Amino acid sequence: MLRLAEKLRARLVTLPRRYKRLIQVATDIVLVWAALWLAFVVRLGDSKSIEPFEGHAWLFGIAPLIAIPFFVRFGMYRAVMRYFGNDALMAIAKAVTLSALLLSLAVYWRTDAPKLIPRSMVFNYWWLSLVLIGGLRLVMRQYFMGDWFSPASLTKFKGKDAGLPKVAVYGAGAAGNQLVAALRMGRAMRPVAFIDDDPNLHNRSIAGLRVYSAKHIPQMVDETGAGQILLAIPSASRARRREILEMLEHLPLHVRSVPGFMDLASGKVQVEDIQEVDIADLLGRDAVPPQQALFERCIRGQIVMVTGAGGSIGSELCRQILANAPETLLLFEHSEFNLYSIHMELERRIEREALSTRLVPILGSIRNPDRLLDVLQTWKVQTIYHAAAYKHVPMVEHNVAEGVLNNVLGTVNAAQTAVQAGVANFVLISTDKAVRPTNAMGSTKRVAGMVLQALSREAAPVLFGSDDAVHHVNKTRFTMVRFGNVLGSSGSVIPRFYQQIRSGGPVTVTHPKITRYFMTIPEAAQLVIQAGSMGQGGDVFVLDMGQPVRIAELAEKLIHLSGMSIRSEKCPHGDIAIEYTGLRPGEKLYEELLIGDNVSPTEHPMIMTANEEYLSWDQLKVLLSRLMAAVDEDDYPQVRQLLREVVSGYKPEGEIVDWIYQQRRAEPGE
């Protein structure tokens, strides 16, 4: 019998839409007649006084003629039965009520009716129609979804669902209920329980699932066999999410989450998108809301350019700049693919939100000053966010010349063309690796910052590389913003950890004591924009990164929250091993944000300003000339020596590992 019903369901689901609607209309006509007949029976107590083909024929004839147009108007035949919800029930209630009212008027106006019609019959017709029409649709929804029995016992009798992974949903609110409904429809997972912090919900049943308290999670696992927990608490603070994750970490459960409301609203993800735990939740720090005045000061109604617009930080800067209504946003990027990706994303957003900002994607390199100057002068750029740089420490360590040319000379080009074009604001994205660096990347970023510090103190500088002694009036306000690692950026350790866990391990960590500062990309971009609006010129702003995080501890948490155990000497039968590979070239055990201790607060609680030593522009130009000459000659020991002279605290560790330098030393005769 069940097999036959299942075949019928499959057949009905695959019918063309017009056939489905015809079946619904025919069924509703029959139900209207049934409700009308039963209304007489309830009122009169028997069926002998009912004459559907004689005295009451006119009433049975007009009842569907009145009801069906209302059903059509309220969209009852547009609703998909499998996804039938509360909105559809309200539409049915409205349509049935209005049709019953109109039928009562017809009964009132028909004074010459051949057969007496009790007035209370219309009320009976109304509630019977609600029961029959609404009830049938609810029953059919369960039928078409395959839900033959109650939600709690749904999968006990269905072999095809018995093997689905069992999941518990943390959060019995709107997001949790929506998630359970999506899981039941998608049939990818089987929800078996709710977990919630509200004591009023404990031991209650919601959507057929029992609600457990957090302290009874082990009991829930024993009773339901759940192997995963899905976090459906988008409104919870980061601090609270961190508490929950720390509590769940030691349980043999794979913990994942559903997207937040902001991601859903922006269209980035769908409700059904279940993701690994957001690493930002493990850090547990809530972002400080931006100060709108600072946010808009250098953007609203202005012509803004972002260099490195396709990178991790650059692309997020573009997103947040666009939200603050610039007149024109120039995307300057040397990677064609990255430029295409961010341009398409922002174009769709402009179209979706009907924004007035003009978007200009420009292919170009900061190594080409003529191209830079041409762009700045053509569009009369007012604000530049300079995010273009090489940032991967080992990669730059193996390619020193490119690191110097891009990070140092590229910044010199961008800054000098900004002076030439009369750009009002110039903001450099710096890094914590520029503080007492042990690698080429950090030292080149420190030199880039020193270039801006020197230029900001020159009212009319003679430009570096200029053959003449022409002084250019400097109207540009240069600022630098320094922060640590951002979560999810290209080359970030977190995606690599997840990939290693999915492939069965091992998870590789360079050193058991290595620590890093972390911040989310949106938070970093927000603070960069706000910091760039402050200061008088030459300012070094440092973002509050919170407490540093031990990378090995982070790896352990991710393994545990993936529902796996760590393989070690104490636990040789664990799932995933952690291997320590040793520090990479140029890598430090810990990073710093401040060169000195002379920091001052600003009007923003998460932004500090630092006073740091710098060289004059004339001194720096001499050292830059020597540095570029050494790069041209592939004299990497000299490059390292010059960087040591310029950058205070630069202590390179180990031998030079530049590929060209090593290859030439390995050649015979060298």
Write the single-letter amino acid at 50: I
Q: Give the pLDDT of residue 2.
A: 59
Q: Is the pLDDT of residue 47 over 70?
A: no
Q: Which residues of 341-351 are buried (b: 16+ CB within 10 A; e: fewer)?
A: ebbeebeebbe
Q: Is the pLDDT of residue 554 over 50?
A: yes
Q: Give the pLDDT of residue 152.
A: 45
CB of 440 closer than 8 Å to CB of 397:
yes
For residue 91, give both structure tokens: 């539409």
For residue 506, give both structure tokens: 């091992």
Q: Is the pLDDT of residue 93 over 90?
A: no
Please state the rounded mean pLDDT for residues 386-397: 92
Please state the rounded mean pLDDT for residues 558-572: 79
- Give bridge partners of residue 195 from the DSSP assignment: 170, 212
Residue 546's nearest CA partner among 602, 605, 475, 633 is 605
CB of 337 closer than 8 Å to CB of 312:
no
Question: What ranges make up the beta strands (E) of 356-467?
Answer: 358-363, 383-386, 425-429
Please enumerate in sequence order all residues whose Cβ is within 8 A of that of 309, keeping only pairs 6 or more positions apart, or say none: 315, 317, 318, 331, 332, 333, 338, 339, 342, 361, 387
Q: Is the pLDDT of residue 151 over 60?
A: no
Q: CA 409, CA 427: separation in Å to the nearest integer?
A: 16
Residue 273's nearest CA partner among 192, 355, 186, 191 is 186
Tell me: the pLDDT tens digits for 223-262?
A: 888 888 888 887 777 778 778 888 887 787 888 877 654 4
Question: Which of 50-54, 449-453, 538-542 has the highest mean predicted lDDT (pLDDT)?
Answer: 449-453
Please state the rounded mean pLDDT for residues 273-282: 61
Query: Which residue's entry shows tokens 């991601």?
Result: 263
Tell me: the pLDDT tens digits for 135-149?
A: 887 777 766 665 554
SS3 384: strand
Q: CA 202, CA 214: separation in Å to the nearest integer?
A: 10
Query: Which residue's entry shows tokens 């960087």?
Result: 643
DSSP state of 408: I
Which region, left, alpha or beta, applies to residue 164 given φ > 0 means left and ψ of -120 to 50 means alpha? beta
CB of 283 closer than 8 Å to CB of 238:
yes
Residue 233's Cβ-count burial label (10 Å; 0-12, 13-18, 19+) is buried
Q: Is the pLDDT of residue 270 over 60?
A: no
Tell me: the pLDDT tens digits for 281-330?
A: 666 566 667 788 888 888 999 999 999 999 989 999 999 999 999 999 99
Between 200-209, 270-279, 566-575, the lowest mean confidence (pLDDT) is in: 270-279
Interaxial angle between packed helices 336-353 and 312-322, expressed in degrees from 0 to 180 and rounded to the nearest 10: 20
Between 49-58, 150-159, 237-246, 269-278, the lowest mean confidence (pLDDT) is in: 150-159
DSSP string, 563-594: T--EE-SS-TT-SEEEEE--PPTT--SS--S-
pTM of the model: 0.67
For the chain, the average pLDDT equals 83
Q: Is the pLDDT of residue 265 over 50?
A: no
Alpha helices, DSSP H only, in 249-335? Answer: 261-266, 279-283, 292-296, 312-322
Tell me: the pLDDT tens digits for 583-627?
A: 888 777 777 766 656 677 888 888 888 877 889 999 999 999 999
SS3 291: coil
- How confident is residue 279, by pLDDT bands cut at 50, 70 and 90? low
φ/ψ of residue 327, rounded to 5: -70, -45
Q: CA 415, CA 225: separation in Å to the nearest integer?
A: 61
- How confident is residue 123, by pLDDT bands cut at 50, 70 and 90? confident
Please state the rounded mean pLDDT for residues 71-88: 69
Q: CA 338, CA 341: separation in Å to the nearest integer?
A: 5
Peptide bond connecting 289 to the previous residue in cis, omega within 30 degrees of 0: no
Write the single-letter amino acid at 497: F
Q: Is the pLDDT of residue 414 over 50?
A: yes
Q: Which helix (H) or strand (E) holds 540?
A: strand 539-543
Question: What percent of the chain has a predicted confidence (pLDDT) above 90?
Answer: 30
Between 449-453, 499-503, 567-571, 662-666, the lowest mean confidence (pLDDT) is in: 567-571
Q: CA 535, CA 514: separation in Å to the nearest integer?
A: 34
Residue 37's Cβ-count burial label (10 Å; 0-12, 13-18, 19+) is middle
